[in-house]
Structure 1
C-alpha cells in the first residue's frame, strides 16, 4: 500500500503538464535523442537502443567457446531474443548496426532540421552543456526555457508562420528592418541593443569578479591609443610573464570561428601589439609575451574550444567556465523577454 501511495498519479491533468514541457509539434524528435555534445538532450531512444544492445550481447555469446552457451542459444525459448537482436534499426532513413552509428545518425538527423542547422558547424565543449547534465541546480521553469533556446523553438513570427502563407510585412520585426527571428532578436535588432550590452557586460563582470577574488591583476576595458582611435579590449590580464588580451564576444552559432579570426586580426597585428606594449609600459608591468585570447560564446551558451585554454591560464576553473556558459543563456533569454515585453527602447 505504501508503494502504491508513493506512486499515486498527479492530481493535475497530464495534458496541461505535457503542453508546458512540449517543444512544439514541428520540432524534430532528434533533439531529444541526439547526444548532449551534439546539441541534443541525450535521452536514450529505447526502440533503437534495446535491439542494438541485444545484438552486441548475442555477438559476444556467439564468439564464446563455451558449448553450453551455444546449446542455450539454440533453445526455442530464446528465439524471441534472437528476433529482437536481428531486427533492422533505422534512424533518420539510415540503417544502423551499432550504438556509435546510432549516435551519428541522431546527430545528423538533428543537424539536417531547420532548428538544428545552426549546430552543424558549431564547435563546442562539454563545459557548455554542464547545466543540462545537472538540472537539479536550476529552477524547473528556467531549465525548460534554457532547453528551448538551443532547441530553437522560442516563439517568433517567422517560426509560427511555418507551413502557412504569409507576406513579408506580416513577419517583420517591430523595428521594421528584418524578419522577426530568434537570431535577429538576439544579435542585431535595435530594440534589444541595451539588453545585448547587458548580456555582454554580465559575462565580462563575472570574469573580472573571479579574477579579483583570486588576486589576479587585470585592467578592465582599457583605452589603448591606436592610430586615430583606440583599442578597447574588455580585459588585459597579467599572469606571470604573460599578458592576455581578452576580448569577449557573444555571436550567432555559425559565426563563432569567424569572430575568433576577426578578434585575432584586430588585436594581433604588429601595429596593435606595438601599441599595446607601449601602453602597458606606462603601467610598469614586466612581461615577455602578449597573447591574444579572444573569448567567444554563441547566443546558445556554447564556448568556442580555442577560448577554453586562455580562460584556464587565467585561473578560471572548469566549474566557473560552466557558469559563464549558462550566464550567456540567461542573458539571451532576458534579451528575448525584453523584446517580447517591448520594454527596451529603440536605439538611435
Structure 2
C-alpha cells in the first residue's frame, strides 16, 4: 500500500460501479430500463481482492479493508485489545506508580513505535534490505524481534519467567501450595507445565505463555488445553503426584495467555481469579512487567554488535 491509498481507491471504484449497477437494475425509469436491456452485461457485479478475499459491496469492503490494515500495519496487534482484560489498569490504578522511563517504554511498545530495520527499509534505500541478520528469509519487524528471532531468545525467556515469578509470589503470599520446574514423563516424552497448584482436592495446571500480538488468543488457549488437558497427561500427572485415578476429575488446566503488548486474555485472568483466587490487584504488575520485558528484548537486540540497521 505504501501510504498511497491505492487499495482503498481500487475497492471504492469497484463498490461504486456495483452500486450503480444495482440501482440501474431496480430503476423504474424507462430510459434506464432501455439502457439495461441494450447492455445487460453492465449489470454484472465486479469484485476486487482485499486480503485475498473478494468483495463486491461497500459494507464487506469496509470490513475487510479494516481487517487487512489491522493485519499489516505496525499497530496490527492493537486488535487483540478487544479480547484483553483491563488493558490499561497499569495506567489507571491509583495504587500503582509507574516511573517516567517505564511510561515512555510502555507507550512505545503498546503503539508498536520502536524503530526497527523494516521501518528504515520502507522509506529509504538500505544496503542490507529489511531482512533479519539471523533469519535471512524473514522481515525484521518488531513482532519478529519480540517473539521469534533467535537473537532475542534469552531475553524472551526472562520475560516469561518474570510473569511466572509474579504468579508464584502471589500464591506464596496466600500460602497456596504449588510445584514448579515440573518434568512429567508422558509416554516416550515429557511435559513441563510451569506451575502445578495444589489447592484442597483440586489440582490446577497453570502455564503462562506470551504470544505474538497477531496471534489469536483463543487458538493459543486451545493449544495449551490440548497439551495438558488430555487423559494421557492427566494420568501421568496423577502418577507423579502419587494421587489416585479418581482425582482426574479434579484436574483443571488454566492457560495464562498474554501477548507482548501486555494484553492479558480475558478468559485466562477470569479463570485464575475464579479457580485460584488471584486478585485483580495483580493485573498492573503483570501488565507493566510484560511491557517492560518486551522493551528490554527490543533494547538488548538493538545493542548486539552485528546489528546491520
- 5+ residue gaps, structure 1, are 1-25, 27-106
Match for residue 132 of structure 2? Answer: 173
Which of 236, 248, 255 aligns to 2:196? It is 236
Tell me how far apart the structure 2 counterparts of residues 317 and 110 of structure 1 sit (CA, whole Å): 36
Corresponding position of 2:260: 299
- What secondary structure does 1:153 align onto? coil
344 and 250 in structure 1: CA distance in 2 versus 1, 3 angstrom threshold: farther
Distance 1:219 1:137 in 2: 31
Instruction: Please list, as runs of the form range in 1=range in 2, the aligned pairs for 1:122-271 lying within 5 A after superposition.
Output: 122-134=81-93, 137-165=97-125, 169-177=128-136, 178-255=138-215, 256-271=217-232
**Pairs within 5 Å for 1:93-108:** none
Give the TM-score normalised by the residue count of structure 1.
0.62
1:321 paired residue among 270, 283, 300: 283
Aligned-pair distance for 1:227? 0.7
In the superposition, relative to structure 1, how do residues 275 and 186 fare at CA in structure 2: closer, same or farther (>3 Å)? same
**Contact persistence 1:183–1:252 (CA under 8 A):** yes
Gaps of 5+ in 2: 4-65
Task: Out of 111-120 and 155-164, give the one that drifted further.
Answer: 111-120
Compute the displacement of 1:123 (Å).
4.2
The aligned length equals 239
SS of equivalent residue, structure 1 residue 291: strand
- Tell me if structure 1 keeps the 8 A contact 2:180–2:196: yes
Shift of 1:288: 4.9
Q: CA deviation at 1:268?
A: 0.9
Match of 2:292 in 1: 330
Q: Which 10-residue stretch deviates more, 124-133 or 206-215?
A: 124-133
- Of 135-144 and 325-334, deviating more is 135-144
Distance in structure 1 (CA, Å) of the matches to 2:257 and 2:120: 30
Looking at structure 1, the residues matched to 305 and 238 of structure 2 have their Cα atoms a distance apart, in angstroms, of 43
User: Which residue number in structure 2 is paired with residue 118 of structure 1?
Assistant: 77
With normalisation by structure 2, the TM-score equals 0.69
Does the 8 Å contact 2:145/2:298 carry over to 1? yes
2:233 corresponds to: 272
